Amino acid sequence: MKEQIIKNFKEIFGDGGEIRVFFAPGRVNLIGEHTDYNGGHVFPCALTIGTYGAVRLREDRVLRFYSGNFQENGILTGSLEDLECKGSGEWTRYVKAVIASFGEHGFITPVGFDFYCLGTIPNGSGLSSSASLEILVSKMLTVLFGFDVNMIDASIYSQYAENRYVGVNCGIMDQFAIAMGKKDSAIFLDTSDLKYEYVPVRLDGIRIVIGNTNKKRGLGDSKYNERRAECESALAQLQGICTVQALGELDESSFEAVSDAIKDPVILKRARHAVYENLRTVRAVSALNNNDIKAFGELMNQSHISLRDDYEVTGKELDTLVEAAWAQEGVLGSRMTGAGFGGCTVSLVKDECVDQFIENVGRLYKEKIGYAADFYVVDIGDGPQEL
Ligand code: GLA
């Protein structure tokens, strides 16, 4: 792949100079959805698909960009003098936002560069193509300019880039999962203090199958920020009667004891999801540690039901894919993954049933929705690296 990326780079930007190539993965979250901005737990893993980038430093302050995924845009240009990118729809805003965020944290990019990138993650599918690009750029900047930034800080700066410069109030999960990814392990992350643990995902005879609804969404135009605000409102109402810093601190009984303080039934449902999803995630990880994949799968199913009924972030495309998956032989669990409102599902499927699963779920989806879903049988990969 490296040679191919360098070849593509040269075709666009010409020969000469030192060209360096980097890779950052995408991610899939196995369980723990919409918990990361509520101080709860998440359980994502990095994928072997992701974003490749080739870069050559310049002597001036110009930035030139080309994406193999958006060839129709041709070469886009920018400058280190102007890194504000709110409102811009171009993919380059993620690159500029990370440069700007690093700068704000004291790591100033000294010269411009030419940058070619190619993603193997379907855009807008909920597998974090944007966080993958952000972490790719973070890795690139730290290596090229010798910044003393570890990958956890890089994930924090990238999340800040997205919050402050892109305008999406996302939590830390995606950037952290990608920056800290480890082959064949998922990351059990407590978002309240960023303590984490690698959990080997030993799925003997079971594959992780991602189903893409092909319903495009961007976090910016989704109800993501609205959900976040609803959780903040729930927390504020609870703080009127008890001491609690985040919904993720509550267990069932402490939540049920105070939940009457939340008067609006919709806000109450949102809070209930945040609290119970966090508890499900903790339970799912101990089930996995006990090699109880069946229990893990059941918790995945419950997660989807809660995201559908209480958090209301699924929609007919995701529900159709998941409900069709539940009806198939050899399926241990299936749920939406990522922000929701479209994007992807994740299912655990017995090896020998995967082909039939894809065929049947694909057919049922097309019959009901009118267009096809895509499926990827994925592997868990490492974090970002120079190739
Ligand atoms: C998006 C956000 C994450 C997280 C998920 C939902 O992927 O970027 O921070 O909130 O949605 O779990």
Percentage of the chain beyond pLDDT 90 is: 91
pLDDT in tens, 107-123: 999 999 999 999 999 87
Contact between 345 and 365 (Cβ < 8 Å): no
Q: Give Cα 163 to chain centroid, integer Å.
A: 14
- Short-list 199, 41, 318, 124, CA closest to 132: 124
The residues annotated as belonging to the active site are: 174
- Which residue CA neighbors atom 2 of ligand 1 most closely? 170
Ligand 1 centre and the CA of 141: distance in Å? 24
- Which residue CA neighbors atom 1 of ligand 1 most closely? 339
pLDDT in tens, 52-73: 999 999 999 999 999 999 999 9
Q: What is the C-alpha to C-alpha distance for residues 69 and 231, in angstroms, rounded to an integer?
A: 35
Ligand 1 centre and the CA of 338: distance in Å? 5
pLDDT in tens, 180-233: 999 999 999 999 999 999 999 978 899 999 999 998 665 545 688 899 999 999
- Short-list 350, 355, 372, 354, CA closest to 363: 372
Looking at residue 268, its pLDDT comes to 98
Ligand 1 centre and the CA of 297: distance in Å? 21
Looking at residue 87, its pLDDT comes to 62
Ligand 1 centre and the CA of 203: distance in Å? 25
Q: Give me the mean pLDDT over the 88-95 stretch.
A: 86
Which atom of ligand 1 lies nearest, measured to the CA of 171? 9
Residue 13, pLDDT above cutoff 70: yes
Contact between 192 and 250 (Cβ < 8 Å): no
Which atom of ligand 1 lies nearest, measured to the CA of 29? 12
Q: What is the C-alpha to C-alpha distance for residues 53 and 98, in angstroms, rounded to an integer?
A: 15
Bridge partners, residue 380, by sequence: 47
- Short-list 306, 311, 302, CA closest to 284: 302
pLDDT in tens, 129-160: 999 999 999 999 999 999 999 999 999 999 99
Question: According to CATH, what is the number of the domain 2-200?
Answer: 3.30.230.10
Question: pLDDT grade, residue 167 (50/70/90)?
Answer: confident
Which atom of ligand 1 lies nearest, measured to the CA of 162? 8
Percentage of the chain beyond pLDDT 70 is: 97
Q: E strand or H helix at 262, and its extent?
A: none
Looking at residue 267, its pLDDT comes to 98
- Residues with CB under 6 Å of ligand 1 are 33-34, 36-37, 170-171, 173-174, 338-339
Question: Taking all residues of the chain, what is their mean pLDDT, rounded to a whole number?
Answer: 95
- This prediction has a pTM of 0.95
Looking at residue 124, its pLDDT comes to 75
- Which residue CA neighbors atom 11 of ligand 1 most closely? 339
Contact between 43 and 30 (Cβ < 8 Å): yes
Q: E strand or H helix at 235, and its extent?
A: helix 224-239
pLDDT in tens, 285-343: 999 999 999 999 999 999 999 999 999 999 999 999 999 999 999 999 999 999 998 99
Sign of CA dihedral 87, 93, 96, 99: positive
Q: What is the C-alpha to C-alpha distance for residues 318 and 139, in angstroms, rounded to an integer?
A: 33
Looking at residue 222, its pLDDT comes to 64
Looking at residue 85, its pLDDT comes to 72
Q: E strand or H helix at 115, and its extent?
A: strand 113-119
For the chain, give every domain's residue range: 2-200
Looking at residue 169, its pLDDT comes to 87
Sign of CA dihedral 333, 336, 339, 344: positive
